[in-house]
Structure 1
Amino acid sequence: MESTLPEKKIPVGISACLTGQQVRYNGGHKRSRYCLNVLEDCFSFETFCPEVAIGLGIPRDPIRLVGLEGEHPRAQGTKEPELDVTDKLLDTGHTFAEKHRHLRGFILMKGSPSCGMERVKVYHPNGIPHHADQGVFVRALRESNPVLPLEEEARMNDAVLRENFIARVFAYDDWKSTVEPDPSYHAILQFHSRQKYLLMAHHYEGYRELGRYLAEAHDLPLEEVIEHYISRFMEHMAHKATRKTHTNVLMHILGYLKKEIDSDTKQEMLDAIEQYRQEQVHLVVPLTLLKHYVKRHGSDYIRSQTYLNPHPHELGLRNYI
């Protein structure tokens, strides 16, 4: 099978400790074998440690999130609470986001008061763990670039979350590469056309919503359409695709072949899809069959669907979902 790895690696940000850099508060690292041994074939990693960037030393007294539920927590020293680096982390995050608009995603360190994406412990001012929130650097990233795909390295041990994040990175790369350089209504429609079934697999209502929106978008200012479309598209793509939604998409695509394939072939496809729906096989089984017949009998439209190849087959992401 031909390689489907991108000719040019996709730029993705990553917490520096995940690449083996010894930048953690204790002078250690959290080197990710998956990122460096697998994803580096596709991604050009740009490392960043916000805590080092604001001038905290290595090693250093750790910081933690402190605050009451319903308010943005502060990043303060655990041993010296008067040390408050919240504003520095926010400023660094906003500056980083503005200077790195070319990134297609960011892989983060779990549990970090700066880089944790979610479920970071927040302590009550009395020192007792109280609730959970996101890291301060992540908050700034989301404020400055809400469409940027984010994921924690540890969460990518989950096959569905791993596939979801990488599909979003490749979809965002498609947008950044084909729509942003020369924006037009036509470019947006072409993007939507080829991403249609991938979007449907992630969020059916989102797929319908954006289809209706684009049907009337020609009357709106182009800049407004661009901002609205990509914001909603990436938000819908963040939904996890399920066996039910994948089954729905597989049946839709099979519908484009019903006049070109014989009844035995159609039944073979239906059986494979049903085995997948009932959790007897992984998605790769019906999808491989479907791609074979789409390649032989499908129209240009259906062959162009990114759902069939949303990321390189070398990553094997659909072998486990």
Structure 2
Amino acid sequence: MEKTEIIIHTKLTIGVSACCMGSPVRYNGKGWDLLKNLGREKNDFRWCPVCPECMAGLGVLREPIRLSGGDGTKVWTGDAEVKNRKGEIVTNKVIEGALACIEALSRAGAIAYVYMDGSPSCGVYRTTLKNTNRGNPPGVFGAKLLELGFFLIPASDLQSPLKWWDWRRRLLAFYWLKNVPLDSKNQLYEAWYKTKFLCRELNQEWTQNIGRNLALIVEEDVKEFGDRFRKEALDLLRKPSNTKKITNSLWAQYSYYKKLQGKSIEEINAPEIKRNVTSIAKELLLMERKAHEDKVFFGTSPVLYRDKRSN
């Protein structure tokens, strides 16, 4: 097995709440262009903006809506309602709008979605922005995104270079693992090895258990084991890391690189060196580039996107 990073040339499609892409489609006619924070990296993806409230026909400007009687999941089962500020029931319209957006994302081939938390439609962990009140999460559209297994990215994290780097590396690994064949023990072992450093950062115990069990399986058990491994690993890759874990992983992988190549990268700092998240993100991008150039496997970020035209 070649111990180098995985290069994909497929430009992934990411769905995004249209108000986060600068479209003035919120109930009050406002929106924010949060994708501008990604700089040139924005062009590494295709974006599919949707707005379930607009597709519901509620229009702009419109009365704000709220969930009544339960969360968005219960709206789909008929056990909760959606009302606007005037008390009018708009449940069916919002459901139709959410379904129209899901259809658009399906046609676009989107596997991920950047959601606006705090929205009763797009929200996943909050459906209101009032003080510390979480409302009734998930929202109507958010509930459907969760049900369908989308890789979900909170829009607020696009403003942090480090958080975006974390989401991006996990999304690329998620896409690769979702599609890679796992029909033999060798394929299983390669998939585990390529993702184990990232998964170990996210959940060390689970990763070690998979490694131990993988060594014991026989060929007739490969499919069952592979299905379980893929599902559990994809669930794990949806969950964010944190600054401490990321900087420790960076240093461990850099130490491996330095030992293997016999050379240092001055800009890479030890975990105990205090610096801001922007500086850490720059170090990670530099480490990715250097490892790629020197054909060293940077397991912290195992899957990279490269445009074929630039290679």
| 2:274 is equivalent to residue 304 of structure 1 | no
How far the C-alpha of 1:106 sits from its partner, in A, is: 0.8
CA distance in 1, matches of 2:298, 2:292: 10
* SS class of match (1:46): strand
Paired residue type of 1:254: S
Residue type of the alignment partner of 2:69: G
Report what 2:32 is aligned to: 30
Residue 44 of structure 1 is matched in structure 2 by: 46
CA distance 1:122–1:228, change in 2 (3 Å): farther
Could you say what the CA RMSD is over the residues aligned between the two structures, in angstroms?
4.2
Asked whether 1:144 is paired with 2:148, we answer yes
Counterpart for residue 211 of structure 1:
211
For 2:291 and 2:60, the matched residues in 1 are separated by: 57
TM-score, normalised relative to structure 2: 0.71
- Which of 168, 177, 198 is residue 166 of structure 1 equivalent to? 168
Count of aligned pairs: 288
Question: How far apart, in 1, do the equivalents of 2:134 and 2:284 lie?
Answer: 46
List runs of 5+ in structure 1 lacking aligned partners: 124-128, 314-321
- Choose which of 274, 283, 291 in structure 2 pairs with 1:279: 274
**CA–CA distance in structure 1, aligned partners of residues 267 and 30 of structure 2:** 51
Q: Is the 8 A contact 2:55 2:101 kept in 1?
A: no
C-alpha change, 1:38 and 1:76, in structure 2 (3 Å) is farther
Extract unaligned runs of 5+ from structure 2.
1-5, 75-79, 307-311
Q: TM-score, normalised by structure 1?
A: 0.69
The one-letter code matched in structure 1 to 2:36 is Y
CA drift at 1:253? 6.5
Question: 5 Å matches for 1:244-283?
Answer: 244=245, 246-247=247-248, 250-251=251-252, 254=255, 258=259, 261=262, 274=270, 276-280=271-275, 282-283=279-280
Alpha-carbon distance between aligned partners in 1 of 2:42 and 2:53, rounded to the nearest angstrom: 24
**Per-residue CA shift, 1:59-117, capped at 9, x if unaligned?**
33221123369x84643222124332487269718954993694231111232111122
* Rounded Cα–Cα distance in structure 2 between residues aligned with 1:45 and 1:156: 14
Match of 2:63 in 1: 61
Preserved contact between residue 114 and residue 136 of structure 1 (Cα < 8 Å): yes
Which amino acid is the alignment partner of residue 51 of structure 1? E
CA distance 1:51–1:188, change in 2 (3 Å): farther
1:193 aligned partner: 193
Residue 272 of structure 1 deviates from its aligned partner by 5.6
Paired-residue identity, %: 20
1:147-192 CA distance string (max 9 Å, x none): x321121232234432221122111222245x1xx55234343222
> Residue in 1 aligned with 2:91?
84
- Partners of 2:275 and 2:29 lie apart in 1 by 46
Select 2:119's aligned residue among 112, 122, 135. 112
Matched letter for residue 113 of structure 2: F
Q: 1:290, 1:155 → 2: CA distance?
A: 21
Larger relative contact order (CA 8 Å, sep ≥ 6): 2
Cα gap change, 1:271 to 1:184, in 2 (>3 Å)? same
**Distance in 1, Cα, partners of 2:16 & 2:10:** 18
